[in-house]
Amino acid sequence: MSNAPLTIETLRQFTPLDGLKRENIAALAKKTEVRQLAPGELLFEAGDAEKRTYYLLSGRLELCDEEGNTEIVAAGSGAARKPLAPMLPRRYTAKAVEASEYISIDTDLLDVMLTWDQTGQYEVSELTMSEAPRADDWMSQLLHTKAFHRIPPSNLQAIFMRMQRMNCKPGEVIIKQGDEGDYFYAIISGRCSVTRETPLNKDGIKLAELGPGDTFGEEALIADSRRNATVTMLTEGVVMRLGKQDFQTLMKEPLLQRVDYAEAKRIVAAGGQWLDVRLPSEFEAYHEADAINIPLYFIRLKISQLDPEKTYVVCCDTGRRSAAAAFILNERGFDTRVLQGGLNMSGLPEQP
């Protein structure tokens, strides 16, 4: 990475960055990387789908499509003012003709900045809170969280405006098992322990350990139930929280895709997988053929057993627990569908 500071003037050489308000482009500059390419080194290949926006700062790049057609882009040219091969998946392979420098920007962050500018309602500076990290720092941290990747930029704008910051100390209980669900949480710094009390273990069984970029608290909000675990800070840290109503409106629905029973059967027949998140005793009473059973409260602990390349149709009796489980999986990049109405509405017979 180049040691030279990236200035607002440098970013204004490129489109559509030249249209951003000064406050927003200054915030973007702090999250923009300048990197170097050696002659012959690849910047990206055809088929790449990483959400990065690239601009050529110095040198020359060769763009080659799958049919072998080539184009040379030189820094300072009209073509270099625009993002390099912005369509995803990329249709070109980009290779340095000579020693070159390029700018790499998180595409989701850029999209949010452009949305703020075009709505004309907010600027990054308005989001700064007293004794808080710089607004662009914590927002960028959340944008790297998979939970936020599928949310429309207009919703992200509202979420960031409504989130509240919490300074937390080691041993501080953020949520307690049995309490009413009131907030959704995202960790900015520090680490937390997730434990669940059982009749045989009053001290609680450790279900997971969470760190920066992880989120929690969604199960009770989605299922409209009480907290099923306790989350305690292991270290000093910073946590952002979003109220229940804002979470339901701005985050829950954009992240969940619901299907009826007929569509669910088609997905499974095409290679998908039933994922039943009820208790084992419920599962034994009746379940879909070839379904796997991971109770909701174990979903984080056993997530490594799931295939990130597979589509999961998540089900329970009514749809509440499956919605909570699907949300957790979607946060971590899985592809899920929620069975609308649950198994009680599917006509599936109880098993003897």
- Sort 68 into a burial class: Cβ within 10 Å, 0-12 / 13-18 / 19+: exposed
Give yes or no for a contact between 32 and 103, defined as CB atoms under 8 angstroms apart: yes
Q: Is 316 a catalytic residue?
A: yes
How far apart (Å, rounded) are the C-alpha atoms in residues 46 and 94?
8
How far apart (Å, rounded) are the C-alpha atoms in residues 329 and 334?
5
CA angle 330, 301, 351 (to 5 degrees): 85
Q: For residue 215, give the nearest of 148, 123, 119 by alpha carbon.
A: 148
Catalytic annotation, pick one of 168, 192, 315, 316: 316
Query: Which residue's entry shows tokens 């992200």?
Result: 156
CA angle 259, 264, 269 (to 5 degrees): 155
How far apart (Å, rounded) are the C-alpha atoms in residues 113 and 135?
12
How far apart (Å, rounded) are the C-alpha atoms in residues 168 and 133?
14
Tokens of 297: 């409260």
User: What positions carry a catalytic annotation?
Assistant: 316
